[in-house]
Every structure is written in structure tokens, then in C-alpha cells.
Chain A
Amino acid sequence: MTSLAPPSKKIWWKEPIEKGELIWIAVVVVWGIILTLMMPFWHIYGEQNLSSEAYKTTAEAFQAKTMAVVEEYTVRTEGPFNKPVVKPPAGADIYLIGRLWDWWPAYELEKGQSYRLHISSTDWQHGFSLQPANINVQVLPGYDMVMTVTPNRTGEHTIVCNEYCGIGHHNMLGTIHVVEGGASGE
């Protein structure tokens, strides 16, 4: 009778469905299809699609690549620990290390230009959270994740860590400066 007891009819599969229920089922099926199609739709027409390009790497290999970029393109240092600020040419492969408890190095990018940003961790898991653009990706040791980023707003952006990584986690910060094309950003 009620939901606490077995169905009153032995064969309930052939019972007719109430009209209100049928209307709603039609709505939710159509909605489910729309929700599903939105994701491929955005891959075609949207500007924000994370690529699945990634490589297996090691802390040493990733550090070496990062060092090479830092040595070649550093324009100045900043902050209490003299973190290098790297200004790479548009389209370059650039490398960002997440480690306890720092994002290294800092970058200066040009608005409207694209860069192949590689991110990895050299120790524990971290969370790359770029503010105020609010872009968030998971950063894993052993994985080199590649995303092509195109900044659309100038100003100083802060990288916050949003995956817990031990007692210094809340102070793990990094910087990406975005400047107009051709300007020095000073």
C-alpha cells in the first residue's frame, strides 16, 4: 500500500503513469540533454576549456626547465625573498612550480597574448588559484599540466594555494603581473 509495504499490485510495471509525472519526466529528459550538450558546445564556442595536455615528469626535470626560463627571461626581482619576475615572449612555454610554501617564479605577461603555462608540484599536492581571475586547477607532483592562458585584464594577480599542503599552506602565494602589450609594467 504505502511505500513501507510491497506494491499492492503484483505486476506494477504496466501501471499507467500519472499525467503530471509524465509532463515532468519529459521536462527533465530534455533538460538533461541540454545540460549534456552545453559542455561540448563550450568546447567549440567557449574561450575557457582546459586542455588535457599533460606529461609525466619529476621534480628535478621540472625544476631544470623552470630554471632555464628564469635564467633567460628574468627582468627584475621583487618581494622580501627577491623572487625573480620573468617576462617571457608571447607564445613561450613557461613553467610554474608549486612547492612548500611558495609559487615560483613570478611572471609578467602581456594582456591579450597567449602563453603555454606548465604547472607542477615538486613535493605535495597544491591548488593553483589565480585571483581575481578565479581560475583554479589541481597541481600534482609527477605531472606537468599544460594550459594555454590568455590574460584579459591588466593588473597584479595573486596565486593562492587552495589545496591544503601543511602548516604553511595559508601563506603559499605567488604573483602574475599582467601588463598592456609593449609596456614594461614598472
Chain B
Amino acid sequence: MADQGDDDRDVPVMQRILDNPFILLFIGILIPTMTYIIWGIMELISIPIAD
């Protein structure tokens, strides 16, 4: 593990993100859940009741 760690230090951050499936999975779940589902549901439940 130690020598691998030395190697990885040269790898740019963006490449490391792209090489990590679980960071990508996190991004791919978090963004749509926040901007589409949660934001959308908040808008739907805040619709006023007709008088």
C-alpha cells in the first residue's frame, strides 16, 4: 500500500475523483436527489389550499 500511496500523490485531484467509483456514485445520487426530488417535493407540499 505504501508505494501505491507514493505513486498516487502525482495524480491530479480531478483524475482521482474520476478514478473513484464511489465518489462518482455519491455525486450521481446526491445531486438529483437534492435538486430534483427534495426541491420538487418541497414545492409541491408548500402549495396553499384553495379557499
A55 touches B47 (CB 8 A): yes
B50 touches A14 (CB 8 A): no
Distance in angstroms between the alpha carbons of A62 and B14 in the assembled complex: 55
User: Could you tell me how many residues of chain B have their Cβ less than 8 Å away from some Cβ of chain A?
Assistant: 11
Shortest CB distance B44–A (Å): 9
CB within 8 Å: A-B pair count = 28
Residues of chain B at the chain A interface (Cβ within 8 Å): 7, 10-12, 14-15, 18, 47-50
Shortest CB distance B48–A (Å): 6
Shortest CB distance A112–B (Å): 28
User: Could you tell me how many residues of chain A have their Cβ less than 8 Å away from some Cβ of chain B?
Assistant: 13
Distance in angstroms between the alpha carbons of A10 and B9 in the assembled complex: 12
B49 touches A57 (CB 8 A): yes
Distance in angstroms between the alpha carbons of A62 and B15 in the assembled complex: 57
A55 touches B49 (CB 8 A): yes
B11 touches A56 (CB 8 A): no
A56 touches B50 (CB 8 A): yes
Shortest CB distance A70–B (Å): 18
Distance in angstroms between the alpha carbons of A182 and B25 in the assembled complex: 63
**Residue of chain B at shortest CB distance from A52:** B43
CB interface residues, A 1-39, toward B, < 8 Å? 10-14
CB interface residues, A 29-64, toward B, < 8 Å? 54-57, 61-62
